[in-house]
Structure 1
Amino acid sequence: MSGAEPSALPQTSSQSQPSAPNASWLNGAALYQIYPLSFRDRGGDGWGDLDGVIEGLDHVASLGVDGVWISPFYPSPRTDFGYDVADHRAVDPRMGNLAVFDRLIERAHGLGLRVLVDLVCGHTSNAHPWFVDSRRSRDGDKSDWYVWADAKPDGTAPNNWLSVFGGAAWNWEPRRRQYYLHHFLPSQPALNLHHPAVMDALCETAEFWMERGVDGFRIDAVDFFAHDPQLRSNPAALRHEAEPPLKPFALQQHVYDMMHPAIGGILSRLRETVERYPGRVLLGELSSQPGAGQRIAAYCTPQGLHAAYTLSLAKQPFSAKGFAQALSAAGRPESICWSMSNHDVERAASRWLPAGADPQSFNALLAMLAAALPGTVCLYQGEELALPNAVLEQHQLRDPFGITYWPDFPGRDGSRTPMPWRAAEPHAGFSVAEPWLPVSDPHLDLAVDRQERTTGSPLAVWRAALALRRDLEALRAGSVTAVEEHGDLLSFERTSGNDRLLAVFNMADRPAEFALRGRGELEDLAVPRAPGALPPELTADGRTLVMPPLSVFLGRLRTAS
Structure 2
Amino acid sequence: MMTGHRIDNVANPDWWRGAVIYQIYPRSYQDSNGDGIGDLLGIVGRIPYIASLGVDAIWISPFFTSPMKDFGYDVSDYCDVDPMFGTLADFDAVIDTAHRFGIRVLIDLVLSHTSDQHPWFQQSVQDRTNDKADWYVWADPKPDGTPPNNWLSIFGGSGWQWSPRREQYYQHNFLTSQPDLNFHSEAVQNALLEVAQFWLHRGVDGFRLDTINFYTCDSELRDNPPLPKDQRNANIAPAVNPYNHQLHIYDKNRPENLDFLRKLRAEMKPYGAAAVGEVGDAQRGLEILGEYTRGDDLMHMCYAFEFLANTQPTAARIVEVMEDVDRVAGDGWACWAFSNHDVVRHVSRWQLSTGAQRMFITLIMALRGSVCIYQGEELGLPEAEVRFEDLQDPYGIEFWPEFKGRDGCRTPMVWDADAQNAGFSNAPRTWLPIAEAHRSLAVDKQEHDPSAILHHYRKAIAFRHNHPALRVGSHDGLKADGDVIYFTRETEGQKLFCVFNVSDSPSSFHMPDGDWRSVGQELGSATINEDGWLYLGPWQACMALDRTDAR
Return the TM-score normalized by structure 1.
0.92
Q: CA deviation at 1:323?
A: 2.5
The reply to whether residue 546 of structure 1 matches residue 539 of structure 2 is no
Q: CA deviation at 1:321?
A: 2.7
Distance 2:465 2:450 in 1: 21
Bigger drift between 162-171 and 288-297 goes to: 288-297
Return the match for 1:349 from 341, 347, 350.
347
Amino acid at match of 2:458: R
Q: Name the structure 2 match of 1:511.
A: 506
SS in 2 for 1:501: strand
Q: Name the structure 2 match of 1:399.
A: 393
TM-aligned CA distance change 1:374 to 1:459, over 3 Å:
same
**Quick check: 1:26–1:375 contact (8 Å CA) kept in 2?**
no
Q: Name the structure 2 match of 1:132.
A: 122
SS in 2 for 1:88: strand
Q: Name the structure 2 match of 1:291.
A: 284
**Quick check: 1:162–1:168 contact (8 Å CA) kept in 2?**
yes
Per-residue CA deviation, residues 108-128 of structure 1 (Å, 9 max, x unaligned), is 100100000011110000111
The residue correspondences of 1:420-431 to structure 2 (distance < 5 A) are: 420-431=414-425
Q: Name the structure 2 match of 1:223.
A: 213
Distance 1:521 1:333 in 2: 31
Q: Name the structure 2 match of 1:117.
A: 107
Distance 1:312 1:420 in 2: 28
Amino acid at match of 2:339: S
SS in 2 for 1:398: coil
Bigger drift between 482-491 and 410-419 goes to: 482-491
**Quick check: 1:364–1:528 contact (8 Å CA) kept in 2?**
no
Distance 1:337 1:81 in 2: 24
TM-aligned CA distance change 1:463 to 1:243, over 3 Å:
closer
**Quick check: 1:34–1:68 contact (8 Å CA) kept in 2?**
yes
**Quick check: 1:235–1:253 contact (8 Å CA) kept in 2?**
yes
Per-residue CA deviation, residues 339-384 of structure 1 (Å, 9 max, x unaligned), is 1111011111111235xxxx32122112211221222111100111
Return the match for 1:446 from 428, 432, 441.
441
Distance 1:188 1:69 in 2: 22
Q: CA deviation at 1:16?
A: 7.4
TM-aligned CA distance change 1:430 to 1:7, over 3 Å:
closer
Distance 2:370 2:319 in 1: 16
Distance 2:34 2:2 in 1: 34
**Quick check: 1:287–1:312 contact (8 Å CA) kept in 2?**
no
Q: CA deviation at 1:556?
A: 1.0
The reply to whether residue 144 of structure 1 matches residue 134 of structure 2 is yes
Distance 1:540 1:476 in 2: 29
The reply to whether residue 280 of structure 1 matches residue 278 of structure 2 is no
TM-aligned CA distance change 1:469 to 1:232, over 3 Å:
same
**Quick check: 1:353–1:362 contact (8 Å CA) kept in 2?**
no
Amino acid at match of 2:190: D
SS in 1 for 2:196: helix
SS in 1 for 2:85: coil
Distance 1:477 1:167 in 2: 44
Amino acid at match of 1:162: L
Counting aligned pairs with the same residue, the percent is 43
Per-residue CA deviation, residues 196-242 of structure 1 (Å, 9 max, x unaligned), is 11111111111111111001111110111112211111111112499
Amino acid at match of 2:334: I
TM-aligned CA distance change 1:470 to 1:10, over 3 Å:
farther
The reply to whether residue 455 of structure 1 matches residue 453 of structure 2 is no
Distance 2:324 2:246 in 1: 24
The residue correspondences of 1:143-542 to structure 2 (distance < 5 A) are: 143-240=133-230, 245-277=239-271, 279-300=272-293, 301-315=295-309, 316-330=311-325, 331-332=329-330, 335-354=333-352, 359-433=353-427, 434-516=429-511, 518-529=512-523, 536-538=526-528, 541-542=531-532
Amino acid at match of 1:231: L
TM-aligned CA distance change 1:256 to 1:309, over 3 Å:
same
Return the TM-score normalized by structure 2.
0.94
TM-aligned CA distance change 1:148 to 1:435, over 3 Å:
same
TM-aligned CA distance change 1:338 to 1:97, over 3 Å:
same
Aligned length: 539
Distance 2:278 2:194 in 1: 21
Distance 1:16 1:25 in 2: 9
Amino acid at match of 2:543: L
Structure 2: gaps spanning 5 or more residues: none
Distance 1:241 1:483 in 2: 25
Structure 1: gaps spanning 5 or more residues: 18-22
**Quick check: 1:288–1:310 contact (8 Å CA) kept in 2?**
no
The reply to whether residue 63 of structure 1 matches residue 58 of structure 2 is no
**Quick check: 2:397–2:404 contact (8 Å CA) kept in 1?**
yes
Distance 2:233 2:409 in 1: 28
SS in 1 for 2:454: helix
Distance 1:392 1:34 in 2: 20
Query: Alpha carbon RMSD of aligned pairs, Å?
Result: 2.2
Bigger drift between 402-411 and 477-486 goes to: 477-486
Q: CA deviation at 1:329?
A: 2.6
Per-residue CA deviation, residues 459-511 of structure 1 (Å, 9 max, x unaligned), is 11111111111111111221111421233222211112131111111122122
Per-residue CA deviation, residues 501-529 of structure 1 (Å, 9 max, x unaligned), is 1111112212222233x332220112444
Q: CA deviation at 1:334?
A: 6.4
Distance 2:198 2:69 in 1: 25
Distance 1:489 1:165 in 2: 39
